[in-house]
Chains A and B, each alone.
Chain A
Amino acid sequence: MPEKETPLSQTDTTEVDVQALEQEGEIAADYIEGLLDIGDYDGDIDMDVEGERAMVAVVGGALDELVGKRGEVLEALQELTRLAVHRQTGNRTRLMLDIGGYRERRRAELTKLGTDVAQEVEQGGSPKPLAPMTPFERKIVHDAVAAAGLRSESEGEEPERYVVVYPS
């Protein structure tokens, strides 16, 4: 099974084509903006390039519907947006979409969770499984656990795949 959680530090360091990433952002922004207009949502679109990824963020109020339970609507929109970019550029994209600051908040929560559980496992000595998470969420936990000097693995099958933290 393809694993989408390759840590950023392990991706190759070939020169990043910033212009191509900016173009991905433009296509994604047009696609999302069209949807916001049709649905009469208030939201501004921020575009950025972070590392090797184009980032597109919808900011503003009253966007919860577009995030959904556990971010499921956001994930669906990101998937469709990536397809829209792929159709126009012919290239696969790792573009990341955020809506209403959801990913940013989850990143902070999950980094804290990963750090706390790492400490707990280090003291207790036995492995600890966490709740099922999306690939995006698991990656954040893996990074936080690694930063604390412990080891973690993803186990189980999507969409119930979860992180287990091990004493190193």
Chain B
Amino acid sequence: MLEEALEHLVRGIVEYPDDVRVRARRIRGGRVLEVRVHPEDLGKVIGRSGRTAKALRTVISALSGGRYVRVDLLDVNEVR
């Protein structure tokens, strides 16, 4: 559900919604949601002084019922 919610929230605010990909990974002590967007949209999902990234993280934490979820924002070409 969290991946789907995050994908919906991000798709609504970017220029290239079809390029949005969300992947969930387990890490020790929680989960990571990795969001990939078109390179031109990366600035948009981060926002001025990280405001938009913070808003996305706030909403996802609320939806997860307070469990720790890390949200990473990347562009589609970044390798990790």
Contact = CB atoms under 8 A, between A and B. Distances in A.
Interface of A: 31, 34-35, 38-40, 65-66, 68, 72-73, 75-77, 79-80, 83-84, 87
A34 B1 CA distance: 12
Interface stretch (B8-16, B26-34, B68-76): B8-16
Contact of A38 (B5, B55, B62): B5
Nearest to A68: B62
Nearest to A31: B12
Contacts of B13: 80, 83-84, 87
Given A76-B54, A79-B51, A80-B56, 7 more contacts: A31-B12, A35-B9, A38-B4, A77-B59, A80-B9, A80-B52, A83-B12
B62 A35 contact: no
Nearest to A78: B55
Nearest to B45: A83
B35 to A, nearest CB: 13
B contact face: mostly helix, strand, loop, or mixed: helix
A104 to B, nearest CB: 20
The residue in B8, B12, B56 that gathers the most chain A C-beta atoms within 10 A of its C-beta is B12
Contacts of B59: 73, 76-77, 80
13 contacts: A34-B8, A65-B63, A73-B58, A73-B59, A76-B55, A76-B59, A79-B51, A79-B52, A79-B55, A80-B9, A80-B12, A80-B13, A80-B56
A35 B56 CA distance: 12
Contacts of B55: 75-77, 79-80
